[in-house]
Amino acid sequence: MANPPVCKVMDYGKYKFEAQQRAKESRKKATNIVVKEMKYRPKIGGGDFDTKTRKVEQFLGEGHKVKITIMFRGREMQHPELGRKILDRVAEMVSDVGRVEIFPKQDGRNMTMVLGPDKKAQAAAIKRAQVEAAEAAEAAGDTAGDTEVDDVVDTTITDADSTPVADESVEPDDASPADAAPDEATKET
């Protein structure tokens, strides 16, 4: 403590205002994580499973947590392994954008699991996609150099009124005998 005690004369209204502004700034910087929920059934069809899983992947890509719920009814309660299989498939399909935060557990008629976004996995997936795109472009560049100009033939010529007309120099391969010799067909009758 200082001797004699030191005090600062200040405007209390200004002090409260600045404190509010600091609190507001800190709230802006805070990330707001929303928990989304996707509900599945043990007897879900393939198309519905794919659609819901794509939506889960989208939520994880946006940075949200996702709670996956398997709803059991009636005799489905006797086979929780079916729900576990579905949850495992979902976790496997979204492994490039998220990871399991709370492992599957049964609570009453529902089995739940929570997935969270995984920034490291997302970065690895993006890098892998870039490498694959570069390889594909390189492969496409190699095959483009192998084509010869002689292989490309234009079979139509456009008239002045923009109607396509068959090129005279190209003969059809499957000419029927009636088209080839109309005189012979008329002589026989």
DSSP assignment letter at 141: H
Whether residue 108 is contained in a domain is answered as yes
pLDDT tier for residue 137 given thresholds of 50, 70 and 90: confident
Whether residue 142 is contained in a domain is answered as no
0.85 exceeded by pTM: no
Cα 29 from Cα 27, distance rounded (Å): 5
Structural domains in the chain (count): 1
Whether residue 185 is contained in a domain is answered as no
| Domain that residue 118 falls in | 35-122
**In what helix (H) or strand (E) does residue 64 lie, and over which residues does it extend?**
none
**Domain containing 90 — which CATH number?**
3.30.110.10
User: For residue range 22-48, what is the model confidence (pLDDT) as tens digits?
Assistant: 999 888 877 777 889 999 999 999 999
Both tokens of 139, joined, read 């492969």
User: For residue range 64-96, what is the model confidence (pLDDT) as tens digits?
Assistant: 899 999 999 999 889 999 999 999 999 999 988
Whether residue 5 is contained in a domain is answered as no
Whether residue 91 is contained in a domain is answered as yes
The residues near 31 (Cβ < 8 Å, ≥ 6 apart) are: 63
185 three-class SS = helix
Both tokens of 93, joined, read 């399909």
Whether residue 86 is contained in a domain is answered as yes
Whether residue 117 is contained in a domain is answered as yes
CB 67 within 8 A of CB 111: no
Whether residue 75 is contained in a domain is answered as yes
